[in-house]
């Protein structure tokens, strides 16, 4: 079995971070999102992986992932030249997949327990497609599956229904055989001008092919928004164990589970886990609170950071308390010692600026 990881989305809900980096390469617990996907696929025994990317981020992904040998896998990059929907993105992998069954994984999704069990079940089944489903409180924001009376086949898919037929939402993992490509050829663009994967799967159902459900075990996160990124970071840090690889400086207080990499300098500060600190970070006279990830070479001075992701090379100096924040690579935040005489702005459309 092969896998196809879809990473061609523009990540508009995560701007401005995604103006300079693909959302799949934003770190959670100090590892890019897509690393968790690749590890999950390797654990499931899948070593041939096609990564669907848009031309503007192909080089960035190649630089970050290479040919996959770091994970014991083989990566091939597949271009989706225009954003025409999920079904179109899947069709870009047709030649790569060939006649093999394959797994489709949306690159901005995280699953607590990975995909090993779904892969095994699909391999042993006679289904032409399998969808991972999870129960949600309000299905109206999701694609929703309606099952047969026995609960072992999907008989209808409804996209964002006002009257949901169930609470079973479709998540971003699908397993297919080659028939899905024929179904994609037979569908038309939706009202938003895209080829929808749910329309292609519904075509399989209407033609009498067997489409089966698998209920997800454990948590699932779609990390398409800043608040989702922070929540996924929290979930990953929940499983952290204490590992301290650098000597602690004077007057350092550590509470809870903390992972500290090599070459880290910390002095006169309090660390309250779960939190992770990357190689080369420097922390002086500061507080780092729970559910925070400080990446490599971050510098923190006379500040407080809690429930946040601070990316590589960022500097935070004397800014007071930062909470529920995503701080990009190489950012420099600092506070002037006195209020400015005047403010100078270049502010984009529909911005909101609060001065305190």
Q: What is the pLDDT of residues 10-48, one digit of tens each?
A: 666 777 677 777 788 889 999 999 999 999 999 999 999
φ, ψ dihedrals at 43, nearest 5°? -60, -30
**In the structure, what pLDDT confidence band is assigned to residue 344 with cuts at 50, 70 and 90?**
low
pLDDT at residue 203 greater than cutoff 90: yes
- What pLDDT is recorded for position 89? 92
**In the structure, what pLDDT confidence band is assigned to residue 162 with cuts at 50, 70 and 90?**
confident
Number of Cβ within a 10 Å radius of residue 338: 6
- What pLDDT is recorded for position 285? 95
Predicted structure pTM score: 0.88
φ, ψ dihedrals at 277, nearest 5°? -130, 125
**In the structure, what pLDDT confidence band is assigned to residue 341 with cuts at 50, 70 and 90?**
low
Within the chain, all domains assigned CATH 2.160.10.10 are found at 239-334
DSSP string, 59-100: HHHHHHHTTSGGGT-EEEEEE--S---HHHHHHTTHHHHTTS
- Rounded to whole angstroms, how far apart are CA atoms 1 and 312? 36
Half-sphere exposure of 229 (CA within 13 A, CB side): 31
Q: What is the mean pLDDT of the chain?
A: 88
**In the structure, what pLDDT confidence band is assigned to residue 342 with cuts at 50, 70 and 90?**
low
**Among candidates 177, 23, 27, 209, which has minimal Cα distance to 102?**
177
Number of Cβ within a 10 Å radius of residue 77: 16
**Among candidates 30, 4, 9, 7, which has minimal Cα distance to 258?**
30
Within the chain, all domains assigned CATH 3.90.550.10 are found at 2-224
- What pLDDT is recorded for position 353? 61
Locate 92 and state its tokens: 């870009």
CATH superfamily of 239-334: Hexapeptide repeat proteins (2.160.10.10)
- What pLDDT is recorded for position 225? 82
- What pLDDT is recorded for position 154? 92
284 vs 146 pLDDT, higher one: 284
- What pLDDT is recorded for position 22? 77
**In the structure, what pLDDT confidence band is assigned to residue 337 with cuts at 50, 70 and 90?**
low
- What pLDDT is recorded for position 128? 93
Please say whether the structural domain 2-224 has been given the CATH code 3.90.550.10: yes
- What pLDDT is recorded for position 139? 83
Q: What is the pLDDT of residues 212-229, one digit of tens each?
A: 999 988 999 888 788 888
């Amino acid at each position: 079995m092969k896998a196809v990881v879809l990473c061609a989305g523009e990540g508009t809900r995560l701007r401005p971070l995604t103006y300079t980096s693909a959302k799949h390469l934003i770190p959670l617990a100090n590892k890019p999102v897509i690393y968790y996907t690749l590890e999950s696929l390797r654990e499931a025994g899948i070593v041939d992986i096609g990564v669907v990317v848009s031309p503007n981020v192909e080089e960035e992904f190649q630089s970050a992932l290479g040919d996959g040998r770091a994970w014991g896998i083989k990566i091939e990059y597949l271009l989706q030249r225009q954003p025409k929907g999920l079904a179109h993105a899947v069709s870009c992998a047709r030649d790569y997949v060939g006649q093999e069954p394959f797994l489709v994984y949306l690159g901005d999704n995280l699953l607590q327990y990975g995909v090993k069990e779904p892969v095994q079940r699909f391999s042993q089944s006679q289904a032409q497609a399998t969808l991972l489903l999870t129960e949600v409180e309000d299905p109206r924001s999701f694609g929703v599956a309606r099952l047969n009376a026995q609960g072992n086949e999907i008989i209808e898919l409804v996209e964002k229904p006002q009257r949901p037929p169930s609470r079973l939402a479709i998540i971003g993992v699908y397993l297919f055989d080659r028939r899905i490509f024929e179904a994609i050829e037979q569908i038309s663009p939706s009202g938003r001008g895209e080829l929808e994967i749910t329309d292609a799967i519904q075509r399989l159902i209407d033609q009498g092919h067997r489409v089966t459900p698998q209920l997800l075990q454990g948590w699932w996160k779609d990390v398409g928004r800043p608040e989702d990124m922070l929540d996924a970071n929290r979930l990953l840090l929940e499983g952290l164990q204490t590992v301290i690889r650098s000597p602690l400086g004077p007057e350092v207080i550590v509470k809870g589970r903390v992972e500290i990499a090599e070459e880290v300098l910390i002095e006169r500060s309090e660390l309250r886990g779960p939190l992770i600190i990357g190689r080369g970070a420097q922390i002086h006279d500061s507080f780092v609170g729970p559910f925070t990830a400080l990446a490599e070479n971050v510098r923190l001075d006379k500040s407080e950071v809690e429930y946040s992701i601070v990316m590589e090379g960022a500097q935070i100096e004397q800014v007071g308390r930062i909470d529920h924040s995503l701080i990009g690579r190489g950012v420099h935040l600092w506070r002037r010692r006195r209020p400015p005489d005047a403010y100078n702005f270049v502010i984009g459309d529909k911005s909101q600026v609060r001065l305190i």
